Structure 1
Amino acid sequence: MTVHQDSPMPLAPHSSSGSPMHPALTQSRAPYAEALAHAADRNSLFLSTPGHGGTRTGISAGQAEFFGEHTLSLDIPPLFDGIDLGVDTPKDEALQLAAEAWGARRTWFLTNGSSQGNRMAALAIGTLGSGVVAQRSAHSSFIDGIVLAGLKPGFVYPNVDEVNGIAHGVTPDALRHAIRNHPEPVTAVYLVTPSYFGAVADVEALAEAAHEAGAALIIDAAWGAHFGFHPDLPASPVTQGADIVIMSTHKLAGSLTQSALLHLGDTEFADRLEPALARAFMMTASTSENAHLMASIDLARRALMTSTEAITNSLENIRHIRAQIEATDRYHLLSGEFLGHADVVDIDPFRLPIDIAATGLDGHTVRKRLAEEFDIFPEMSTATTLVALIGIGKSPDIGRLIDALETLRLETADSATATSPAASLPPLPTAGRLAMTPREAYFADSELVTAAEAVGRVSVSSLAAYPPGIPNVLPGEEITADTVDFLQAVAASPSGHVRGAVDPGLETYRVVRN
């Protein structure tokens, strides 16, 4: 684990006019959550949405019994006086505190997850131009954004560990090459760091490469919301020159599922991107944003900013967990090997990619059996690897996981169920040729064909093996035989799922009509 120097203190956030806002705010408060709690404590008569009215009467009794009446009373609708209606509201204060905490010029609370942030970013960069270079292991939600914005993508390919099915990051030289080879001027770049497996790319060098080409840099840091809050954690990409950064606070920072952030960096692109992002937010956000989600972001930010000792203890705990795994001699953490790759400069200690080949079973089978037989739920798996994550401040009994793996190993030893984990799935397929833009393909006249007939045809769908949700086929790309084999194998695996599939077994595909 790399030890980091303290990151410089972020600048105080500014309004679009350039003047500081709310100078008396303190990071020890959670103004939105506090205002929500104050409103919930009032004896109000709601003759408005939501229909449960914050009480347990009538058909809301089941809701109150399941969630608790206090949860209902906190379900305050938008445009509520004392919370988010007017100027310099508690919500405005919470947003400013978040911008200050992460070092951003401006921050948006997202209640549709990082997927909303990816679509926002795609729509916003459309104001700069249509040429974009995206990491080929981008999340499917950014591909959705490319379709929505009518962007013309080129791709930069991450380094891939073929044996373990792990995509890492990209190098600045690979990014420069992709920018030079794009058929039109590149005005934006979209990259992913940290990776699903915890590998961290060199954001400062990548920002320099993008900016020297005149392109804005978007970082999908969905897994890095906790970065920058302790000297032993990687720095936040917001402070490393990125222009737009998307983060899922729910992943490791403790907020509720589906809550996330989008940050605008204080860069040369900020003046142009800020109004574009504001419009994109209006297009992608619900007009009935969930108050619980926004309050949980506010509370998570406060915890990150005021819990240095707890984060220190959590890092010490994670060192013990990592050492406990390595001490087994049968299972080891692949993240120790990540720093040998040119595209990786650091790792996220809270993500544990465990080589479980010693069990004699493929990772997908192991993950399924852990859930069904041991009530243990890892984040994801590949053929050889199980990825566990530890939330900040949590101290799970990792011995329970090791014991379960040993039980599976002993059951499998010398039995007919033993397999070669690496052979359980075909290798990750190379993407097919981009025959038309994703938007053109998405809206093209289409037809349904069999898997055999789909080979060589242009897909109208985005098909992504889950997890991690990285598209294997994009709208506009030709479908290859290797891709068909891979997706069908994923669909047939114990915990496999392909987002965008017409049928569960990937027997048919929707393609552009000839």
Structure 2
Amino acid sequence: MNILSQDKAPIMEALNKYKKMRVVPFDVPGHKRGRGNAELTAFLGENCMTVDVNSMKPLDNLIHPVSVIREAEDLAAEAFGAKHAFFMVNGTTSAVQAMVMTACKAGEKIIMPRNVHRSAINALILSGAIPVYVNPGVNKELGIPLGMAVSEVQQAILEHPDAKAILINNPTYYGICSNMQAITDLAHEHGMLVLVDEAHGTHFYFNEDLPASAMSVGADMAAVSMHKSGGSLTQSSILLINNEVSEGYVRQIINLTQTTSGSYLLMSSLDISRKNLALNGQEIFSKVAGMAQYTRDEINKIGGYYAFSEELKNGDTIFDFDTTKLSVHTLEIGLPGIEVYDILRDEYDIQIEFGDIGNILAYISVGDRHFDLERLVAALAEIKRRYSTDKSGLFDHEYIKPHVAYTPQEAFYAPKEKLPMERSAGRISSEFVMAYPPGIPILAPGERITEEILNYIQYCKDKGSFMTGTEDLNIENINVVKESE
């Protein structure tokens, strides 16, 4: 067995070698290394355009890699502690879908928290798998869903021993981690695969002071958004497999939906970013955690805001906390998070990751400067001074437990009719409604629409949340399952 060297970047090295060969291109893409599209080349730069190339023998092929892509994936697997790593160019959405479709065929059950990203429920629509939802814990003061309680997972396993897999969010958008080791051990005792949506957990693999990663606890598959905290280009991601999961079968599943024209810009960014994290990750993420802690402390000194962290840990639904996450509760100053989000962007030229009803999330990475953090803190202090108001009358929302009447696939493809949103209570939704980000459905296909859900949707719209999911782009009408005559 060859000992792999993490300071190599095989895809980047192959592209550099290819550029020096001065090959005349009579293949796609048609911009021909940028010469055919001068405006695009001026905008993106010649370096970028010359490596936007097609699969060919010297550069390997993502759908069946045997040389440089294969070597890059092997290096990533070693860096992440996995049996194999697949480079994904359709985002972590396609990695989550590949996990679910690998584990479950039509009609088979999968246990998952209801506060999953839409990509997991989309996978159920595509595959016909049946969700068994575990309602996450809830922190009523902060209005955020937490992780899954081990006892709730155990109950779901006992009630559905025929389930094929369990899906875990690690961490949630807010930085909350479930007890992955206990859940993984429990699932394996009952012959179930463990799939982990690690969209926000890339850094867990490269810093020993952060929460446990999926591969470190023996999970079977994990979808990792390298482009979030890992530094690669948007839409690039990695799917990890472990244990007895078949590499060949997973690649077949990936190739059902992933492009046959894998972008070398995205793949080389994964390769270079993996090299950087493998060599420097401990130092990088210690610095990020330090910046986040400094900013948390400064925000908490302002008063009114609550930047929360490890003090929330309870050994179960908040088993651990990602200290690189800067999540801030805003309701005590009388402003929903989405309003603080809008004010920061519109009046202070500060773009944070998202705002929801009660909280904001500022994504901190190694690319931030101390000056930027100070600017954020100063803006939040000024927003409190200028805009804070009485918090009475603010929507006190917490997690709404869904009533699932149909599987997502049944409802999505069922005969349907369009109704005005306000007249839809009592009917079964055949589509999603969600605020994006974070992209966690308020309503998913197959769930009964209630007045409580409609009030929450209206409140989100009134406060300026970006709503999405329905066929009606204005989110005024909703498709519901047609009732039999």
TM-score range, shorter chain: over 0.9
Q: Any idea what SS the aligned residue of 2:124 has?
A: helix
* Count of aligned positions: 480
Match of 1:152 in 2: 130
Give the direction of change, closer, same or farther, for the CA distance of 1:165–1:38 in structure 2 (3 Å limit): farther
Shift of 1:123: 1.1
Match of 1:140 among 118, 121, 124: 118
CA distance in 1, matches of 2:263, 2:174: 30
CA contact (8 A) 2:143 2:398 kept: yes
Structure 1 residues without counterparts, runs of 5 or longer: 1-19
CA contact (8 A) 1:429 1:472 kept: no
Match of 2:7 in 1: 28
- Is 2:441 the partner of 1:477? no
Q: Any idea what SS the aligned residue of 2:366 has?
A: coil
- Is 2:262 the partner of 1:293? no
Shift of 1:83: 4.1
CA contact (8 A) 1:350 1:392 kept: no
Q: Alignment RMSD, CA only? A: 2.1
- Is 2:139 the partner of 1:161? yes
Shift of 1:187: 1.1
The within-5 A match list for 1:196-345 is 196-265=173-242, 267=243, 269-271=244-246, 274-307=247-280, 308-340=282-314, 342-345=316-319
CA distance in 1, matches of 2:225, 2:80: 13
Tell me which moved more, 342-351 or 140-149: 342-351
Match of 1:353 in 2: 327
Q: Any idea what SS the aligned residue of 1:81 has?
A: helix
CA distance in 1, matches of 2:477, 2:398: 20
Match of 2:54 among 48, 70, 77: 77
Q: Any idea what SS the aligned residue of 2:85 has?
A: strand
Deviation track 1:450-479 (CA, whole Å, cap 9, x = no partner) reads: 224311111111222222111122211111
Match of 2:456 in 1: 486
CA distance in 1, matches of 2:402, 2:213: 34
- Is 2:27 the partner of 1:48? yes
Give the direction of change, closer, same or farther, for the CA distance of 1:91–1:435 in structure 2 (3 Å limit): same
Shift of 1:254: 0.6
Tell me which moved more, 380-389 or 287-296: 380-389
Match of 1:459 in 2: 429
Match of 1:403 in 2: 378
Q: Any idea what SS the aligned residue of 1:468 has?
A: coil
CA distance in 1, matches of 2:75, 2:121: 31
CA distance in 1, matches of 2:402, 2:320: 31
Q: Any idea what SS the aligned residue of 1:53 has?
A: coil
Q: If the length of structure 1 is used for normalisation, what is the TM-score?
A: 0.88
CA distance in 2, matches of 1:338, 1:505: 38
CA contact (8 A) 2:97 2:123 kept: yes
CA distance in 2, matches of 1:359, 1:430: 24
Match of 2:387 among 412, 421, 427: 412
Letter in 2 for 1:361: L
CA distance in 2, matches of 1:448, 1:325: 46
Shift of 1:334: 1.6
Deviation track 1:197-226 (CA, whole Å, cap 9, x = no partner) reads: 011222110101111222111110110011
The within-5 A match list for 1:44-123 is 44-56=23-35, 58=36, 60-84=37-61, 88-123=66-101
Q: Any idea what SS the aligned residue of 2:460 has?
A: helix
Shift of 1:505: 5.1
Match of 1:367 in 2: 341
Shift of 1:258: 0.8
Q: Any idea what SS the aligned residue of 2:116 has?
A: coil
Match of 2:164 in 1: 187
CA distance in 2, matches of 1:400, 1:98: 36
CA distance in 2, matches of 1:402, 1:316: 15
CA distance in 1, matches of 2:422, 2:275: 54
